[in-house]
């Protein structure tokens, strides 16, 4: 089933959710640069893909937002007592998924580095742009905030599954 329903998420939403979860986890490995200045296996094999994977995530989040808006009338029902809180929480996760790659792109353009993804030059190197570099400096604080949100989100999902034993996690699996 491609579309979402009141009972569960459909295959498109699940594919977006789990593929982007994996790619975001990959992106968060960039925190590893803080250990021995990235001079370790993860820093040398997975982290160098940061800009390419981040640019891919920017494309994916735009497509996902269109999909979510299209599905909004027939998505799984939330418990009325917490529906607004869940909506706000998911909204913040979406904001994080959009602002992370946008601020990342601003670091690159602000520094005059240009932007290339998977060997394809999207914006050539150029002048430094002070306002873009300024906004780009939000990238790291946003990464910390998104990490906390994700921890909360995963914790709540596991609590539903193992604590309450309801079908919240199952409808996304």
Q: Which spans of this chain sit near ligand HEM (rule: CB under 6 A)?
A: 13, 17, 21, 24, 27-28, 30-31, 33-34, 50-51, 54-55, 57-58, 68, 76, 78, 86, 90, 93-94, 96-97, 100-101, 104-105, 107-108, 115, 139-140, 143, 150, 153-154, 157, 168-169, 171-172
In whole angstroms, how close is the CB of 54 to ligand HEM at the nearest point? Answer: 2
In whole angstroms, how close is the CB of 166 to ligand HEM at the nearest point? Answer: 10
In whole angstroms, how close is the CB of 9 to ligand HEM at the nearest point? Answer: 7
- Residues listed for the chain: 173
Closer to ligand HEM at the Cβ: 42 or 68?
A: 68
Closer to ligand HEM at the Cβ: 26 or 127?
A: 26
| Closest to 43 measured CA to CA, from 57, 26, 59 | 26
Closer to ligand HEM at the Cβ: 41 or 137?
A: 137
Closer to ligand HEM at the Cβ: 41 or 68?
A: 68
Half-sphere exposure of 59 (CA within 13 A, CB side): 7
In whole angstroms, how close is the CB of 169 to ligand HEM at the nearest point? Answer: 4
Cα–Cα distance for residue pair 127/124, rounded to 1 Å: 10
Q: Reduce the DSSP state of residue 164 to 3 states and report it.
A: helix
Closer to ligand HEM at the Cβ: 34 or 164?
A: 34
Cα–Cα distance for residue pair 3/12, rounded to 1 Å: 7
Using alpha carbons only, how large is the chain's radius of gyration in Å?
A: 18
Alpha helices in the chain (DSSP H): 11-28, 41-45, 50-71, 83-110, 130-136, 139-158
């Amino acid at each position: 089933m491609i579309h979402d329903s009141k009972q569960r998420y459909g295959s498109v939403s699940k594919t977006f959710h789990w593929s982007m979860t994996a790619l975001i986890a990959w992106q968060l490995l960039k925190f590893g640069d803080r250990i021995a200045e990235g001079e370790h296996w993860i820093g040398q094999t997975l982290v160098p893909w940061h800009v390419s994977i981040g640019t891919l995530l920017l494309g994916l989040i735009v497509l996902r937002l269109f999909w979510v808006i299209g599905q909004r009338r027939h998505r799984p029902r939330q418990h009325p007592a917490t529906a607004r809180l869940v909506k706000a929480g998911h909204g913040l996760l979406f904001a994080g998924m959009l602002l992370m790659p946008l601020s990342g792109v601003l670091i690159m353009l602000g520094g005059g580095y240009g932007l290339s993804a998977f060997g394809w030059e999207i914006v050539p190197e150029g002048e430094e742009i002070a306002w873009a570099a300024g906004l780009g400096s939000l990238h790291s604080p946003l990464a910390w905030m998104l990490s906390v949100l994700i921890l909360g989100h995963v914790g709540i999902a596991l609590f539903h599954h193992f604590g309450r034993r309801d079908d919240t996690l199952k409808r996304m699996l």
